Each structure stands twice: as structure tokens, then as C-alpha cells.
Chain A
Amino acid sequence: MEKLKQKPIMLVEDNPDDEMLTRRALKQNNIMNEVVVAHDGVEALDWLFCQGKHAGRDPSLMPAMVLLDLKMPRMGGLEVLERLRADHRTELLPIIILTSSKEEHDLVQGYELHANSYIRKPVDFAQFVEAVRQIGAYWLLLNEMPPNRHCQ
């Protein structure tokens, strides 16, 4: 449990407002894990696979879960998901799609690519805070983590 708490949460989100609000919602729910933010899909993959500008980071550090937005510049969330699931190191990583989209196409594809969960961001911030609380409670406390796999 102690170890788990030290694991960061990865937030893949291009919108700084959403980033700020998500951080606020996490904070309000007393989820104190470090939040690693990637502003697009490419950055997320670089960090997770320890490549590009994140080539030098501690490879043993992997996030407890990834909160993945779908619509982002450079590389969208669904492609990130596909790459992560295709890679041995990240195929078991809990990935929660957290998006504004309610499009069925996104929903179906998200599950087809083996997302662990698909959560739509409510417009009402109070509801959003509640959603983040439940995500934290479920994925960080209730759920048993898959065995750790990392860059090396």
C-alpha cells in the first residue's frame, strides 16, 4: 500500500484548464500521488517507454494508472492506447479513458483496444470531482494492481 501510494498517476491531457481542474479534483479528494502530465500522445509514449526527452528517467518508475484524454494534438488517445497494449511493458497497465466525447465510435474503439474503463467528464465540476474521487478510490485502493513491468 505504501509502495502503491508512491506510484505516480499519469494524466495525458492537452488542455491546461482540464489539467488544472483535474489536479484540483485529485487534491480535493486527498489523492496525493505525484501527477505526471503528458500534453499529447507522443509525450505520453516517450515517458512510459523512457525514450525521447524522457530517455534518462528512472525506468523502474511506472504509473499506478493512466488517465487518458482522446482528442489531442500529434497523437490521439486511441492510438496511444493501441501502442501501449501492443507493448509487453505496458500491456497490463490500468488505462482509464477520461474524455469529453460521448461518441459511440470512441466508446466502442476504446473498449476494443482494451481500455480498462471509459469515463466521460461531466460538465458540472461537482460531478467531475465526484468522478475523480471514485476513480481514485477504485483504481488506487480497491483494485489489485497488475504485477509491475517497466522499461528494462
Chain B
Amino acid sequence: MSLRLKLLFPLVMVSLVVMAYLEFVWVPHSLETQKQQYIEETERHIGTIIEGLVPLMLTSQLDLVRENLDELRKKNAEWTSILLVNAQGKQLFPLLLGAPAQTSKGTNDQVLEKTIQLYGKKLGQLTVHVDYTSRLKQLEEQHRRLRLLLVTTIALLALIWSMTLEAAVVRPLRRLSEAAGQLAQQHFDVPLPNGGGDEVGRLIASFAAMRDSSRQYRDDLVREIEEHKQAEEEKSGLNASLEQRVIERTAALEEVGRRTQELELLRELGEAIVSELDLDRVLHLVASKARALIDAETVMVPLLNPDHDGYYYAAADGANAEDIESSRFPIRVGMCGWVLSHQKPLLYGEEMEWHYDEKTHWEHGTQSALLVPLFGKRQIIGGISGTGKKGGGSFSRRDLELLTIFANQVSIAIENASLFQEIKQLVNTLEQRVAERTAALEAANKELEAFSYSVSHDLRAPLRAIDGFGMALLEDYGAILEGDGKVYLERLRANTQHMGELIDAMLQLSRVTRAEMTIQAVDLSALAEEVATGLSSPEQERQVEFQCEKDVIAQGDPRLLRVVIENLLSNAWKYSARVEHPRVEFGVLSTGELPGAEGQPVYFVRDNGAGFDMAYADKLFNAFQRLHSAKEFPGTGIGLATVKRIIQRHSGHVWAEGVPDAGATFYFTLG
């Protein structure tokens, strides 16, 4: 169904419904109403007539009655007949002359009867026949004309509607659709209808835009296809020449391939072996792969003794392999012996100057043999020997060539593996020795601990007893001791106390060696200040000038470093005792100020005391070594040994510089 029909259809339908309504409902109803109206009008008219008739009838002026009625009939054309009878039923009008009054019977003929009475007394009856046909006909005529007008209007409207639609929508759309159809055929130049500013106009504009971009796209596509085609043609041309070249090359490659395959096999064999580090497995792999390579019935791998005076079969593969393996021979025996001592390959059966003292038993009856030496990095290490070509016959020069290449490849693997084995054995021994040493060390440590505990407890108890009883003797019997008796007892006590100090110092030395270290940042300045404060307590008579550099922070075990500082400072205090203005200094030298410090900070403790002769500088740090007599400066001779032990445990160095009677400086580094 076309768009026009679709749009027209509702219009026509509505018109038909309106017309049907007019025809079948409205017109009949209107006619009926009109008729009723006429009847009512006529009845009222008749009523007024009767009022006029009453006096006339009472007075029996029948002439006047008739005259009036005649008049009436003439005036009202629709009144077909008027019949007046009196109370007795006698017809008064029209005058009957024997014949009944004519009555016309139409469809719209209506009989109206009215009784004439006065105060309930019937005077007569008036009957009027009315025919409205002519009146109604007039009305119908009017209706007909109205309908005609309506139909004409509707038809006219439909026509205008249809034409407008045609001009504004249908025609542009048709042309658009034609253009679209043409577009499908790739005609991009079909003219488009001129659109107004309405929806159709916009549609056309969109279509035009779409068509333009399609055209652009088509053009691009066409160009691309062109290029593609061109490339394709070039390619097919190239392909042809390439094919030719491929054919030529393939022929050449096939030749190379045959050779490569051989070498590739060789390389694969070699690689499998090179990646192995277990010597025994390497040797067995060498034997089995070599056997596959040269198609031998048996392949043996003889290795030279370290002294080169004999060889042994380290591995064998194939017939008699189990018999052969591990057997040893002097260097003069067998073909292997010849190859190993001459360091040359051997192809048995070829003309060659060679000699051996006796054959190994599996060499008897051998028809064919092939032997090549194995060279390590520096010297010959052994060889590979194949006997009995599979399926009879002899080994060829090509076999010899292959086996030589193979031997060169695997010799490194064999050497590596034997080195690896050696290292492994060494490592094992080493590990075992480390474990043994560790156990021994642990035991020694335990012993040392028990020893020092015993020293700490058992050695001091008798000393205390000696001192105690010595003192008891002095206190209780001092009065009766004569001469040097008291002095001897004092010396006895002084010695026990010195021994107590020695024991303490030794214990500290051994403890310093064993103590677990916790490395952390330690404020050496604060430590030195604290120790110095203890050393110059008020009990000390003399005053030492102590100069301490601020904020010297070092990494180390705080407790052990305290022992270092304590020992060095108390030494400085002690040895500067005889100077008039004792002066002790603690500080750090920045990197590079002192040779030999290797960029580490160097801490130092300096005094202006007794000093020492540099000739003995190396003895300073040994336990029980003293450069001064106990009479001069008391001491245990263990303090600096303890310092050295601690500094060593911190991976540092300690050393000293001194000038007799001019002071000493002790330096140390930490890690």
C-alpha cells in the first residue's frame, strides 16, 4: 500500500462514518421532530378555531360556521379535509350531498380529532385531516443539498491533502529512494530533490552527506584494491623467480645437509656428554656414543695412570664390556698402549709402523680396530678405542676422522668431570675436616669454659684463704712477730692480691675471646668520659687533664669496647702518674691522616707519660709481656693482650707509637 493511500485511508473512513451518521440517524430524527412540531402547531390552531366555533354553534349560526371552515380550508393547503359533526352526529360541514367526504390517504396524512364542548356538554366534534408531505419534501430537499455540499467538501479536502503529500513528501521520497537504488549500483551522481527545512529536507541532507562519505570510502577502497592488485602482481613475479632460485638452492643444500647431519649427530653426542659432570657417567656415555658413531662392536675408553706408566679401561661399551672395564695394563701392552705412548691415532690394518709387546686377550683375532688419543688441556689423558666393525669389514678413514672430532669434543668433558670429581672429593674432605674441627673447637671451648670457671672459683678460694689467714695472723699475733716478720706477711698479702688480679685479667682475656658479640652503634666519647670520671675519682690524689673528642660513634660490641677503653685509659692514667702535668687525650683521626689506615677512622688514646722504646713495640700486645717493672708501674701484662683480642674480633687493628719519657699513643681501627 502506498504512503499516499495509507495517509488517505483514515480521512475517507472518517468521512464515510460522518455521512452514514447523517443519513441514517440525524436526517430521520430531524424529519420526525419536524413532523411532531407541525402536528402540535396544527392542534393549537384547531384549538383556537374551536373556541371561535363554540358561540356560533350555540347560536346555531351554521352558515357562519361553514363560511369560517371554508375559509380555513382555503388558507391551509395541507388540511385535506375538515369534518364537523354536532352532538347528534349530524354532519354540519362540509355539507354532504349524499356522498361521503373525500379523504386522501398519504403517508404523512394525520387525522386530528377535537371534541367541541362547553361546560362538559358536548356540542360536536371537529375532525381535520392534515397532509405534511409537501412540507417534509421541502425539508428533505434541504437535507439532500447539505449532503451534497459535505461530500464535495470532503472530496476537495482529500484532493488537496493528496496533492500536498505528493509534492512535499512522496515525490522527494521517491526520488530519494531512486537515488538510494542507484547508490547500490554505485551511481553517486543522481540528482537529489531539493528539500525544504522540514524533516524530509533534513533526511535528504543526511542522505547526501552519507552518499558523499560513501563515495569517499568507495574511492579509497578502489584505490587500495588497485594498489593491492599491483603488489600482488609484483609478488607473483617475484615468487616465480624465487621458486627458481629455491630449486637451485635446495639442490645445493641437500648436499650440505647430508654433511651437516653427520656433524650435527657428532655435536649432539658431544653436547650430551659435555653437560654431564659425573665422571663415570661421562666415560660410559663417551663409550656408548662413540660405538654408535663408528658402528663398532666394542668401544673402550682407556685412561692413563697419573704416572703415565700404564693405563686402565675406565669405561667400555658393547661386547665383553664387563670383562674389559677396570682392567689395567702397563703402557707397553696392547694397541692402546701404543696409541697412548705415541699420542697418535691408529687404524688397525693400515700400513703403519707400530709395535707392542703383547696383545690383550680381546685383541687376539680382532680384524679391525680404530684408536684415537684423548687430549686434555695440557697433555694426553687417554684414548678411545673401537674394535670390530659391525657386520664385518674394516673401519674407514672417515670413521677415524669422525672419532677424532668426537674425541676432541668429549676430552674437555672428561677433563671437566674428573676435575669436578676431584673438587667434590676435596670439598667432602674439607667439609668433614671442618665438621671435625668445629667439634674439636666446641669441645675445646667447653673445656676452656670449665677451666676458666674452675680458675675463677677454685684458684681464688685458696688465695683468699692465704690472704685471710695472713691477715688473721697479723691482727691476732702481729704483736709477737719480730723483725721482718710483719713485712713478710705484708708481702705475702700483696702477692696474693696481685695473683688475684692476674687471675681476673686472665679470665677477662679468655672471656673476651669467647663472648658473643652484638654489633651496634657505640658512643666512644661518652664511654671514654665515663671511664675517665671513674679513674679520676676524688680518692685519686693527682689530677689528670683529660681531653675527649665529642660524638665519636663507632660500630661494635658495647661491652667489649668498654673493656678496650678501660684498659687503654687506665694504662694512660697509670703511665702518666710520674709526670708533673699528666695529660690524656681520646679522639679520632679522619680518613687519610694516618698512613696504613686504609680509609677507616682511626681512634686513639694519647698520654704524655712514661712512653716506651719503639724497638719493643711489637711485644706490647703479647700477654704477660711488660716493658716496665712491677715496681715502676704495677700491672698484669694482660690488659693490652685483651685489647688486641677485642680489636681483632672486630676485624680491626691496634698499634702503638711511643717515645721513652715523652708519652705513648695507642691507635685502633674497627672493622
Say whether A associates with B.
yes
The complex places the Cα of A139 from the Cα of B414 at a distance, in Å, of 82
The complex places the Cα of A105 from the Cα of B460 at a distance, in Å, of 18
Residues of B within 8 A of A101 (CB): 453, 456-457
CB distance from B496 to the nearest CB of A (A): 6
The complex places the Cα of A17 from the Cα of B453 at a distance, in Å, of 20
Q: From residue 118 to 148 of chain A, which have CB atoms closer than 8 A to chain B?
A: 121-126, 128
Among residues of B, the one whose C-beta sits closest to the C-beta of A21 is: B468
Q: Are B468 and A102 touching (Cβ within 8 A)?
A: no
Whether B463 is near chain A, meaning CB under 8 Å from some CB there, is yes
Q: Are B453 and A103 touching (Cβ within 8 A)?
A: yes
The A-B contact count (CB < 8 A) is: 65
Q: CB-defined interface of B454-486 with A at 8 Å, one 1/0 digit per residue? A: 001110111111011111100000000000000
Residues of B within 8 A of A128 (CB): 464, 468
Q: CB-defined interface of B440-454 with A at 8 Å, one 1/0 digit per residue? A: 000000000000110
Residues of B within 8 A of A70 (CB): 457
Q: Are B464 and A125 touching (Cβ within 8 A)?
A: yes
CB distance from A19 to the nearest CB of B (A): 10
Q: From residue 91 to 105 of chain A, which have CB atoms closer than 8 A to chain B?
A: 99-104
Whether A150 is near chain B, meaning CB under 8 Å from some CB there, is no
The complex places the Cα of A125 from the Cα of B500 at a distance, in Å, of 12
Q: From residue 406 to 464 of chain B, which have CB atoms closer than 8 A to chain A?
A: 452-453, 456-458, 460-464
Residues of B within 8 A of A104 (CB): 511
Whether B497 is near chain A, meaning CB under 8 Å from some CB there, is yes
Instruction: Give the interface residue-count category, chain A.
Output: 20 to 34
Residues of A within 8 A of B471 (CB): 125-126
Given A101-B453, A102-B456, A102-B507, A24 and B461 contact (CB-CB distance below 8 Å):
no
Residues of A within 8 A of B462 (CB): 17
Q: Are B457 and A100 touching (Cβ within 8 A)?
A: yes
Whether A6 is near chain B, meaning CB under 8 Å from some CB there, is no
Residues of A within 8 A of B297 (CB): none
The complex places the Cα of A123 from the Cα of B497 at a distance, in Å, of 6
User: Most A CB atoms within 10 A — which of B457, B460, B467, B493?
Assistant: B457
Q: Are A123 and B457 touching (Cβ within 8 A)?
A: no
CB distance from A21 to the nearest CB of B (A): 4
Q: From residue 10 to 38 of chain B, which have CB atoms closer than 8 A to chain A?
A: none
Whether A39 is near chain B, meaning CB under 8 Å from some CB there, is no
Looking at the complex, which one of A24, A100, A123 makes contact with B467 (CB distance below 8 Å)?
A123
Among residues of A, the one whose C-beta sits closest to the C-beta of B456 is: A101
The complex places the Cα of A3 from the Cα of B275 at a distance, in Å, of 91
The complex places the Cα of A13 from the Cα of B471 at a distance, in Å, of 21
Q: Are A100 and B453 touching (Cβ within 8 A)?
A: no
Residues of A within 8 A of B468 (CB): 17, 21, 24, 125, 128
The complex places the Cα of A125 from the Cα of B496 at a distance, in Å, of 10
The complex places the Cα of A100 from the Cα of B460 at a distance, in Å, of 7
The complex places the Cα of A126 from the Cα of B470 at a distance, in Å, of 11
Whether A15 is near chain B, meaning CB under 8 Å from some CB there, is yes
Residues of A within 8 A of B456 (CB): 100-103
Given A17-B469, A128-B468, A123 and B463 contact (CB-CB distance below 8 Å):
yes
Q: From residue 58 to 114 of chain A, which have CB atoms closer than 8 A to chain B?
A: 70-71, 99-104
Whether B504 is near chain A, meaning CB under 8 Å from some CB there, is yes
The complex places the Cα of A125 from the Cα of B463 at a distance, in Å, of 10
Q: Are B464 and A121 touching (Cβ within 8 A)?
A: yes
Looking at the complex, which one of A18, A103, A124 makes contact with B465 (CB distance below 8 Å)?
A18
- Report whether over half of chain A's contact residues are helix, strand or loop; otherwise say mixed: loop
Looking at the complex, which one of A100, A103, A121, A123 makes contact with B496 (CB distance below 8 Å)?
A123
Q: Are A123 and B500 touching (Cβ within 8 A)?
A: yes
Residues of A within 8 A of B461 (CB): 15, 17-18, 100
CB distance from A97 to the nearest CB of B (A): 12
Q: CB-defined interface of A29-67 with B at 8 Å, one 1/0 digit per residue? A: 000000000000000000000000000000000000000
Residues of B within 8 A of A102 (CB): 456, 504, 507
The complex places the Cα of A104 from the Cα of B515 at a distance, in Å, of 10
Among residues of B, the one whose C-beta sits closest to the C-beta of A18 is: B461
Residues of B within 8 A of A17 (CB): 461-462, 464-465, 468-469
The complex places the Cα of A128 from the Cα of B452 at a distance, in Å, of 22
User: Most B CB atoms within 10 A — which of A70, A123, A128?
Assistant: A123
The complex places the Cα of A18 from the Cα of B467 at a distance, in Å, of 11
CB distance from B262 to the nearest CB of A (A): 76
Q: Are B464 and A100 touching (Cβ within 8 A)?
A: yes
Residues of B within 8 A of A21 (CB): 464-465, 468-469, 472
Among residues of A, the one whose C-beta sits closest to the C-beta of B476 is: A24
User: Most A CB atoms within 10 A — which of B464, B470, B499, B507?
Assistant: B464
Q: CB-defined interface of A11-29 with B at 8 Å, one 1/0 digit per residue? A: 0000101100100100000
Residues of B within 8 A of A15 (CB): 461, 465
Among residues of A, the one whose C-beta sits closest to the C-beta of B494 is: A124
User: Most B CB atoms within 10 A — which of A101, A104, A128?
Assistant: A101
The complex places the Cα of A40 from the Cα of B467 at a distance, in Å, of 24
User: Most B CB atoms within 10 A — which of A100, A121, A125?
Assistant: A125
Q: From residue 482 to 523 of chain B, which have CB atoms closer than 8 A to chain A?
A: 493, 496-497, 499-500, 504, 507, 511
- CB-CB nearest 9 A-B residue pairs: A123-B500, A17-B465, A125-B468, A21-B468, A125-B471, A100-B460, A100-B457, A125-B467, A71-B457
Residues on B facing A (Cβ under 8 Å): 452-453, 456-458, 460-465, 467-472, 493, 496-497, 499-500, 504, 507, 511
Selected A-B contacts with CB under 8 Å, 7 pairs = A21-B465, A21-B468, A71-B453, A102-B507, A103-B452, A125-B464, A125-B468
Given contacts A18-B465, A21-B472, A123-B464, 15 further A-B contacts (CB under 8 A): A24-B468, A24-B472, A100-B456, A100-B464, A103-B452, A121-B460, A121-B464, A123-B500, A124-B467, A124-B493, A125-B468, A125-B470, A125-B472, A125-B493, A126-B471
